[in-house]
Chains A and B, each alone.
Chain A
């Protein structure tokens, strides 16, 4: 026996007697003999905590901890110490989905707070309780727009949506049977003339546009929502929630749906997850929005309380008629985001963006001044930007890694994309640029 299985020999004896069998094998006697596993598992013998810690440390030491100047969907933002301590409360992390509201008010209330914050950031009226990640949330938005349009089956996606997000949308729509058409890019932004042309036939259920886009550019979508709505289509924006504290919101652009990845709300990069996907929508689209939703109500004594609501939309009731198959949320990560936003507040988020933006522009200017980097697009950006370079990006990045830095992301054709967060100091930026020239 081991520390996670408490049965003593005596316990087992008592239990077998009650059940009326001689051994636990008898409980499996209905399994056909030829499928029973009789071999030995090819995994190591049990490790003590001492050995386990050592093993994890050995694995950890094979990773290099780098000073990060890349984004591409994961950003090295600052994580306040408080969050880790509160997330470690086992009343939160060992709880099940709050289907029993009487003993789950803690979870239900923080989800309500999370939804409130996402609504504030996006400007939209309803948010779900979170989804897997930004890419799947965007794919769900595509399905939601088609479900909402009823008879139309075509979704347009801008070529400037981040490639990893676009790839997941492409995968989902391919299997789901949605016709996905890419709106081309022009000078680093969505080609709005091409978009307008694509809308003409009137067969479009919705469009997906990014903010910021895959180059870090903040695009101007003036007039887009009007054109989309004129053909009874919907507009979804895939965006970075941290930047919404300063950038024009999806609601202000006239979008019906906002989605994206919550990682930028201070979450550790953790080699890609867990993060969360957020989704918010206008009131008109609420009933088609996938995922769990928490609402406020009262209990039998009139006390304010929170509960999972609008469940009749979900897969466990609607089965194949549901908009989505999702039946969980990234709840603990929603708590992460909630505590982060609570600590930072409006001022903190504005400051995070200001610091990141100023640092990014400092790096940008510095890179251009070396003569080895050139403007790729002359467009506004916040914390992430793309430039042309004469350098061998692969070789440069390998050299940077050997010096403890993660360089920009190679976008091909001599384009390289850098990201700067509030954690990067001026000294780091200066050294980073010097090292690149050395490589």
Chain B
């Protein structure tokens, strides 16, 4: 299982990378592994407002589904359309295959998220 040092994490297993005011968000390698073969990603639409801690979509495997919780608040500016046809990309590389990009309204939310070390601890539990 991989955890990248330069990212921030939510307890609900999403990762965030912030560049300027744009946050890129995906699910962690731990989460994709727990779910197994991902068959569908329910993504938001561009222009949707997302709120930190609230769900913005879901990932489905054959016999399980997991809600996606946004780690930040803001407006969705881009979604990863490649996942519409090939949701399994997340299984191949959960960090390269992000789900959405959000223009954040409060960058300090990112600072409140877990760092790699703290997230690794949660996964161990």
Contacts and interface: CB of A to CB of B under 8 A. Distances in A.
B63 A311 contact: yes
A310 B65 CA distance: 10
Contact of A317 (B39, B40, B65): B65
Interface residues of A, number: 9
Interface string B51-70: 00000001011111101000
Interface residues of B, dominant DSSP: strand
A287 interface: yes
B75 interface: no
A123 B67 CA distance: 32
B60 to A, nearest CB: 4
Interface string B16-58: 0000000000000000000000011010000010000000001
Interface string A297-320: 000000000000011110001100
A366 interface: no
A321 B67 contact: yes
B30 to A, nearest CB: 19
Interface of A: 150, 287, 310-313, 317-318, 321
Contacts of B61: 312
A345 to B, nearest CB: 35
A317 B40 CA distance: 15
Given A312-B61, A312-B63, 10 more contacts: A150-B48, A310-B40, A311-B63, A312-B40, A312-B60, A312-B64, A313-B60, A317-B65, A318-B65, A321-B58
B2 to A, nearest CB: 25
B65 A287 contact: no
Contacts of B60: 312-313
B42 A317 contact: no
Contact of B39 (A150, A312, A318, A321): A312
Contacts of B40: 287, 310, 312
